[in-house]
């Protein structure tokens, strides 16, 4: 799968692990360590899927999605949320296509990204 991913997590070790895992699965990965960094990256280049941690600072995943949507509108790619919480504390924005609870297997993330990307291409 030749997909460009923006992967966002404020924990450096997790971000590095996600980068390595997804690169080994053939994805082109760009990383960001915060919501503001993600906004900057997403407005500079197009992505097929955004993989986004929910619990981050200074913006959580919900605020990051809100700001990304404000900047990109309909060009905002589908989002895969990653969270240590078993359920979202707020309703998921429509652009959030998958919600994975940590810990998850790398294969689960790869499968979720594939499903999201296939769904986006149909629309």
State the CATH number of the domain containing residue 90.
3.40.50.2300
Residue 123, pLDDT > 60, answer no
User: pLDDT of 95-120, one tens digit each?
Assistant: 888 999 988 999 999 999 999 998 86
Number of domains in the chain: 1
Q: Is the CB of residue 9 less than 8 Å from the CB of residue 35?
A: no
**Residues with Cβ within 8 Å of residue 35, at least 6 apart in sequence:** 8, 56, 58, 59, 60, 61, 63, 64, 67
pLDDT at 90: 67
User: pLDDT of 46-84, one tens digit each?
Assistant: 999 999 999 999 999 999 999 999 999 999 999 999 998
- The pTM assigned to this predicted structure is 0.93
Q: Is the CB of residue 58 less than 8 Å from the CB of residue 36?
A: yes
Domain holding 50, by residue range, is 4-122
């Amino acid at each position: 799968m030749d997909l460009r991913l923006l992967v966002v997590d404020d924990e450096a070790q997790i971000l590095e692990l996600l980068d390595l895992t997804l690169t080994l699965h053939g994805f082109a990965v760009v990383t960001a360590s915060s919501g503001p960094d993600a906004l900057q990256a997403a407005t500079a280049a197009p992505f097929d899927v955004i993989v986004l941690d929910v619990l981050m600072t200074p913006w959580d995943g919900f605020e990051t999605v809100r700001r990304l949507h404000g900047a990109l509108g309909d060009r905002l790619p589908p989002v895969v949320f990653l969270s240590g919480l078993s359920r979202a504390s707020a309703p998921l924005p429509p652009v959030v296509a998958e919600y994975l609870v940590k810990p998850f297997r790398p294969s689960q993330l790869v499968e979720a990204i594939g499903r999201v990307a296939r769904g986006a291409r149909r629309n």
